[in-house]
Amino acid sequence: MSGPARTAIVTGAGSGIGLATAVRLAADGYAAALVDIDERGLDKAAAAVDEAGGQSLVYVHDLADGEGFAGVADDVAGRRPAIDLLVNNAGVGVRASLTETTTEQWDRTIAVNLTAMFHTCRTVLGHMLRAGHGVIVNVSSVAGVVGVAERAAYCASKAGVVGLTRAIAADYAARGIRANAICPGTVATEWIDRILSGAEDPEGARAAMERRQLDGRMGSPEEVAAGIAFLADDSARFVNGTAFVMDGGMTAV
């Protein structure tokens, strides 16, 4: 496939931060391999990427099947000159304190948010190392650097993402690989909408979430996508192994 010189794989690309990132990268000159379990969302993302001037490759895949991701990466590598960028965005969450968290909820959260990243990073690293270059951006959360009430499994998984990312940077920086974690605060996505819809007082819960940021608003997926695009860019090549916080000042006070 001809077209954009660079190629990115974006997981969780069917909505929210993943969709915004895929569109931003397309505008920046990437072909985008879009991975999600949501086929309808992927159709929307592919159309948006193509409209932004990029080229889309679509893969309906459940990242809980970590070993199966190798087939996705191999297909991308066979159709593009190289895999230049991996953006690990797919994730799940559960609202529960530790004693309220079931074993099933814990296992699912760790499997999707952390173990899946282990598989995607390990798989794509093989391709990047053969090419001699590559960038990995793992979407963590402010919940990966500070504690958040009623998010025990989520906090644990996102802290693990930060640790995994730093270990990748330590192991592979000398071989042309950069790896950074981005840690967004509260971002107005479909996932937040679902959380709020289950609250006793949705409007009150929304206001409380907005107050957590110093400027009194949630971030947008496009703002986080801009942060990811920066970390992916050559201008950020001195940025490696960091937890890049974008939270509207949530963790500053």
Q: Per the residue annotation, which of 30, 59, 154, 172 is the catalytic one?
A: 154
| Those residues with Cβ within 8 angstroms of residue 123's Cβ, 6 or more apart along the chain or in another chain | 69, 70, 73
CA dist., res. 236 & res. 238, Å (int): 5
- Told to judge if 30 belongs to the known catalytic residues of this protein, a careful annotator would answer no
CA dist., res. 253 & res. 160, Å (int): 23
Q: Please list the active-site residues.
A: 154
